[in-house]
Amino acid sequence: MGSNSESAPPQAPPADQIEELHVAMRRLMAAEDQSEVAVIAVETATAILDFPFSVFWEATDSALTAEVISDPLREHVQVPDDPGEVMRHERGSWLWDQYESDETQRVLVSTDEAASDAPLHGGISVPLGEYGLLTAGTDERAEPTERETQLADILGKNVLSTLERIERERELKRQRDNLDLLNQIVRHDLTNHLQTISGRAELLRDYCSGDALEHVDGIQESSQSAVELLETAGNLAAVMRQTDWETEPVALGPVLSSVTEDITATYTDAHVTVPDEFPSVQVQADELLSSVFRNVLTNAIQHNDSATPSVVVDVTDDGDVFQVTVADNGPGIPDEQKRAVFERGEKRPDSAGTGVGLYLVQTLVDAYGGDVWVEDNEPRGTIVGLTLPKATDDA
């Protein structure tokens, strides 16, 4: 009675090879450019395979050139600073065919086909997409095993994934840099034009009366609102670029004092009340903390329907946080709108603005680890309250 034989499945890689792969994965996760990835790929391939002649080939439109080679291979090849000068395969060569195959392959290489004087006979090739090819070779006339091929394939997939991640990050950085430049140019130029408009409107004031004077006031108010919107948009752009938020101790008093002075000078018809002396304390925040208070105070005045807009600023110590409140005598906000005003694009019922100011406030306060809310003032108006964590030294 005959017997059927079956091919044995690939053996599981030894524990030390698995550990080498894990180390390589961690290194690849931290890699920042292709050169670093190429070094990791070659070092790992040399460490986990029985094929000491490892090469990372960089692909161009016309050839594959050696970017990084393993130390054992250097013993057989006279290598200048750029190994690509001596190790190169033109389009149409046997190695180029391996690169275009898009599959990890076991290969046997004749001496005539080798790209150097190294005694290269067998090996594994792992295509890396458009970036190039990873090869591991040996001077023994032996075909690589399934296990070795499997290890090389796993390494190659992770190397390719890392190269694609780096390319995405590079493209995102390029786009961010371009947007930053555009943002700076637009904000700078528009702010200058708006200041010119406001200044010329002020010069016209001496020649105007009646309705014409009201138009001058309207021009200046619109110019000021546009300047404030540009500043808010710039701050919001900075916030949206943040990935890892870092806060630091910020002196609360000087920030509040500076903002309230600016608001008082800008809105001369409003009455802004502040404590006789702001507390000498520090909170966890960053350089955009002033934007939080500027947007809250500006909203309290711009959306106020009283003959004389009144705003009261107060600061209290509330355990692990400081509480800042801004109370106005405006029309108030309906209960169903109290949370919505902090959402992106949402506005007060009487607002003709963009709805980004209070959204910026919410975003920044959340990033600082604080809270912000709206409640009714008595006998009328709105109170915007927010808490800010005390800095470590003050906690």
| pLDDT higher at 71 or 351 | 71
C-alpha pair distances (Å), 17 with each of 148, 322, 381: 10, 55, 70
Q: How many CB atoms lie within 10 A of CB 46?
A: 20
Query: Which pLDDT belongs to residue 183?
Result: 67
Q: Which amino acid is at 51?
A: F
Paired residues of 317 in beta bridges: 322
Query: Which pLDDT belongs to residue 224?
Result: 74
Instruction: Tell me the mean pLDDT in the region 91-107.
Output: 88
Instruction: Tell me the mean pLDDT in the region 362-390.
Output: 94
**Weakest mean pLDDT among 12-26, 61-75, 101-115, 318-332:** 101-115
Query: Which pLDDT belongs to residue 48?
Result: 86
In tens, the pLDDT along 20-38 reads 888 889 999 999 999 999 9
| pLDDT higher at 275 or 192 | 275
pLDDT of residue 321 exceeding 50: yes
Q: Confidence class of residue 162 from pLDDT cuts 50, 70 and 90?
A: very high
Q: Confidence class of residue 142 from pLDDT cuts 50, 70 and 90?
A: low
Helices 289-302 + 211-241 axis angle, to 10: 150
Q: Confidence class of residue 254 from pLDDT cuts 50, 70 and 90?
A: very high
Query: Which pLDDT belongs to residue 112?
Result: 55
Q: pTM for the full model?
A: 0.52
Let me know: does 96 contact 120? Beta carbons within 8 Å. no
- The string over 345-383, giving b where at least 16 C-beta atoms fall within 10 Å of a residue's C-beta and e elsewhere, is eebbeeeebebbbbbbbbbbbebbbbebebeebeeebbb
For the chain, what is the total number of helices (H) and then of strands (E)? 9, 13
Query: Which pLDDT belongs to residue 372?
Result: 95
* Angstrom distance (rounded) from CA 93 to CA 299: 70
What is the 8-class DSSP label of residue 393? G
In tens, the pLDDT along 343-354 reads 865 555 455 444
- Maximum Cα interatomic distance, the chain, rounded to a whole number of Å: 118
Q: Confidence class of residue 355 from pLDDT cuts 50, 70 and 90?
A: low
Instruction: Tell me the mean pLDDT in the region 375-380.
Output: 93
Residue pointed to by tokens 């925040």: 285
Dihedral sign (CA 337, 342, 345, 348): positive
| pLDDT higher at 294 or 241 | 294
